[in-house]
């Protein structure tokens, strides 16, 4: 296990691969760096060096008290890549990670060759905000593990439930074993409730992919379309699956990300 003491906390990370180009991954709410296992094989096989890490509040990274913001977690990512001497890299964030990646692209654009914002939004709007407020209210009553286990109903498609029950049960078991305290969970949850980059998206000038699952009902596709519409020349793509399409259809997700990266001018 590798750790770096940065921004007042120990950040747990893994850096793998020997390729000339680096891809930095930022995971979503209540997900640790192991949530990228379905991507690592393809990304490494494509010749990328890949950095993944636990955001503050999850996994083996420290969990300081207080409510977090996506700007704050972008600052954590910046501190880590600077510590490792990584520059001119591709950035990929999913869900909350996509919100953090937006903040990174706004604050530190000179670091990036590209950014991919997946299953995410620029602003939650009343639908998502209401849903997340329900989760917030339930955190101390039923606990984060029960909330996130039940989120599988929102994250996966009907087809997945009907045809891949063994995998579904595995995901539910992993969520039920989530070790976040209500305080840790609420600290992260605050960041997605408060996230709002709508008025600043026009400042993002680097190559951007906005990728959504065609059956996403947790973060509706329309919210991802609005994010895409705010970024000049961003690439729009739809993938098969729901909010958890990177887990439901990892090969397709991986191919879409890699196709975007490979089509970019070489540095």
| CB atoms closer than 10 angstroms to residue 103 | 23
pLDDT of residue 14: 98
Lowest mean pLDDT segment, chosen from 5-19, 59-73, 141-155: 141-155
Indicate if the pLDDT at residue 266 is higher than 90: no
pLDDT of residue 240: 97
Tell me the per-residue pLDDT of 106-125, one tens digit each, with 9 for 90 and over: 999 999 999 999 999 999 99
Spell out a b/e string for 137-159, using b for 16 or more CB atoms within 10 Å of the CB, else e.
eebeeebbbebbbbbbeebbbee
pLDDT of residue 176: 84
Residues with Cβ within 8 Å of 170's Cβ and at least 6 positions away in sequence, in order, are none
| CB atoms closer than 10 angstroms to residue 170 | 11
pLDDT of residue 20: 94
Q: Report pTM.
A: 0.98
Tell me the per-residue pLDDT of 42-97, one tens digit each, with 9 for 90 and over: 999 999 999 999 999 999 999 999 999 999 999 999 999 999 999 999 999 999 99
In the predicted model, what is the mean pLDDT of residues 6-18? 97
**Number of H-type helices and E-type strands within the chain:** 12, 8
pLDDT of residue 267: 64
């Amino acid at each position: 296990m590798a750790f770096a003491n940065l921004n007042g906390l120990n950040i747990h990370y893994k850096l793998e691969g020997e390729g000339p180009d680096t891809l930095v991954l930022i995971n979503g709410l209540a997900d640790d760096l192991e949530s990228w296992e379905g991507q690592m094989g393809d990304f490494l096989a494509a010749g990328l060096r890949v950095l993944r890490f636990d955001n503050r509040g999850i996994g083996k990274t420290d969990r300081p008290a207080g409510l977090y913001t996506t700007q704050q977690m972008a600052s954590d990512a910046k501190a880590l890549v600077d510590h490792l001497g990584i520059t001119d890299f591709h950035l990929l964030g999913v869900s909350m990670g996509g919100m953090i990646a937006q903040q990174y692209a706004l604050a530190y654009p000179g670091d990036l060759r590209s950014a991919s914002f997946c299953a995410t939004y620029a602003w939650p709007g009343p639908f998502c905000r209401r849903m997340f407020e329900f989760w917030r209210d339930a955190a101390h009553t039923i606990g984060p593990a029960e909330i996130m286990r039940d989120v599988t109903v929102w994250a996966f498609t009907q087809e997945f439930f009907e045809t891949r029950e063994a995998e579904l049960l595995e995901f539910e078991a992993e969520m039920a074993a989530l070790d976040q305290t209500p305080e840790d969970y609420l600290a992260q949850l605050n960041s997605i409730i408060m996230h709002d980059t709508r008025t600043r998206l026009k400042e993002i000038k680097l190559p951007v992919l906005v990728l959504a699952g065609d059956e996403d009902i947790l973060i509706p596709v329309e919210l991802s379309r609005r994010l895409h519409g705010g970024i000049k020349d961003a690439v729009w793509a739809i993938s098969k699956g729901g909010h958890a399409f990177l887990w439901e259809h990892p090969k397709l997700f991986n191919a879409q990300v890699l196709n975007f990266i490979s089509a970019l001018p070489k540095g």
